[in-house]
Amino acid sequence: MKKALLSAFGAVALLVLCGNIIGGAKAQSGAAAVTNAAGPKKAEEQFKNIQALKGVPADQVLPAMQFITASLGVECQFCHVEGAFEKDDKKTKQTARKMMEMMFAINKDNFEGHREVTCYSCHRGSATPVGTPLVMAEVPMGMGEAKKVEEANGPEAGKEASGPPADQFLDKYLQAVGGATAVEKVTSRAMKGTITFGDRNIPIDIFSKDPDKRVSFTHTPDGDSVTAFDGHEGWLGIPGHAVREMHGPDIDGASMDADLHFAAHLKEMFTKVEASGMEKIGERDAYLVIGQRDGKTPLRLYFDGQSGLLVRLVRYGETPLGLLPTQIDYADYRDAGGVKIPFRWTLARPGGRFTIQISEVKENVPVDDAKFAKPAAPSGEQKGPAK
């Protein structure tokens, strides 16, 4: 039961859980916060046996591990001894370290240090890459389509822009949701609905408050699971585990999700926007717009060909080994107090996916700031690592 829920939470829970397993004094949030003020902590300062990833920010180590896990289609135990991540007992871990060094060298020697080749380039979701082309399995139908999908698979894809200028899609989207004035009028929102992981449906409450606070309470039978962002920091709470801080890419995503005026803020988020042609999302045509951000990973936005509404957003988490994608599909747009908002969305990452269906929305209701505040860790939760 607990296991099902955790796997359902996918990537987020995985990190939370692993954080707790690794936990101990090293990952105590208090100490981390202090160090953060003085500059980000390095991987080797937080973990015990870092060789290949020396010098990378400590909070990118677990995202990098997720990236490897997704690239090879394996679990953490493929390389790690349970409860002792620092040990090098498994041959696969030793190989993986060599692979990291190989990957860095390939990119350094052939691609001017740009991270063009990653674990996924060769592994494609399997521990042993295939080096031989496949025989033709069936009559090649729509091979052009497949190629298009391939090309679209990455932030750099679709370089040759075509069609109307990209800004126009951002404008149309803002109009489609009700226009800047209507959007700016929303100062808080309370939503009730259901979150679905696989075949489990759990009630959820989501509160947002201007300018950038958001919290969700998933009412599991074990207690509430909480994901919160207060405009500066974010935290995750799962019943029976110590509260965990959100890190880099998750904070970036959380601050976007928390923005009640996202549609109005899009333009100013980007240093450059490019229209990148049309793609099918389900049955419908959508325009792809790629937005570059200063010092951050790009966003891919898909706008419905007819309504102009945002139907898909793909963002990327930075790791030293490659980018971890998060895709959110928005649907069931309805009017809520003068603006159109999606009543359903599906969030998918390499490690899992869930769908939220909203049934009730209230705009501009009072939302107590206390809801976003990080609770003090309950006593008994801090005793140390693995249980």
Residues that bind ligand HEC (CB under 6 A): 14, 18, 22, 47-53, 61-62, 65-66, 68-69, 72, 74, 76, 78-80, 85-86, 92-93, 95-97, 99-100, 103, 117, 119, 121-123, 127-129, 321
At residue 326, φ and ψ (nearest 5 deg) are -130, 125
For residue 317, give the H/E element and its range: strand 310-318
Q: Whose CA is closest to 152, among 307, 327, 11?
A: 327
User: Residue 319 Cβ, how far from ligand HEC at the closest point, in Å?
Assistant: 10
User: Residue 106 Cβ, how far from ligand HEC at the closest point, in Å?
Assistant: 6
Please say whether the dihedral angle defined by the alpha carbons of residues 242, 248, 251 and 257, taken in this order, is positive or negative.
Answer: negative
User: Residue 238 Cβ, how far from ligand HEC at the closest point, in Å?
Assistant: 16
User: Residue 84 Cβ, how far from ligand HEC at the closest point, in Å?
Assistant: 9
User: Residue 384 Cβ, how far from ligand HEC at the closest point, in Å?
Assistant: 15
CB proximity list for 69: less than 8 A, separation 6 or greater: 75, 76, 78, 350, 351
Judge whether 192 and 360 are in contact, CB under 8 Å: yes
> Given the complex with ligand HEC, which of 2 and 192 has the nearer CB atom?
2
> Given the complex with ligand HEC, which of 56 and 309 has the nearer CB atom?
56
> Given the complex with ligand HEC, which of 52 and 358 has the nearer CB atom?
52
User: Residue 8 Cβ, how far from ligand HEC at the closest point, in Å?
Assistant: 16
> Given the complex with ligand HEC, which of 33 and 130 has the nearer CB atom?
130
> Given the complex with ligand HEC, which of 13 and 264 has the nearer CB atom?
13
User: Residue 28 Cβ, how far from ligand HEC at the closest point, in Å?
Assistant: 15
- Report how far residue 352's alpha carbon sits from residue 282's, in angstroms, rounded to the nearest whole number: 20
> Given the complex with ligand HEC, which of 51 and 364 has the nearer CB atom?
51
User: Residue 351 Cβ, how far from ligand HEC at the closest point, in Å?
Assistant: 8
> Given the complex with ligand HEC, which of 82 and 332 has the nearer CB atom?
82
DSSP string, 112-174: TT-----HHHHHTT-SS---SPPPP-S---SHHHHHHHHHHSSTT---S--SS-THHHHHHHH
> Given the complex with ligand HEC, which of 47 and 372 has the nearer CB atom?
47
For residue 17, give the H/E element and its range: helix 2-22
User: Residue 196 Cβ, how far from ligand HEC at the closest point, in Å?
Assistant: 24
> Given the complex with ligand HEC, which of 76 and 377 has the nearer CB atom?
76
- Contacts within 8 Å (CB) and 24+ apart, 298-303: 298/155, 299/269, 299/270, 300/155, 301/169, 301/266, 303/169, 303/172, 303/173
Per-residue HEC secondary structure of 29-70 comes to HHHHHHHHHCCCCEHHHHCCCCCCCCCCEHHHHHHHHHHHHH
Residue 384, sorted as left (phi over 0), alpha (psi -120 to 50) or beta, turns out to be left
End-to-end Cα spacing for the chain: 17
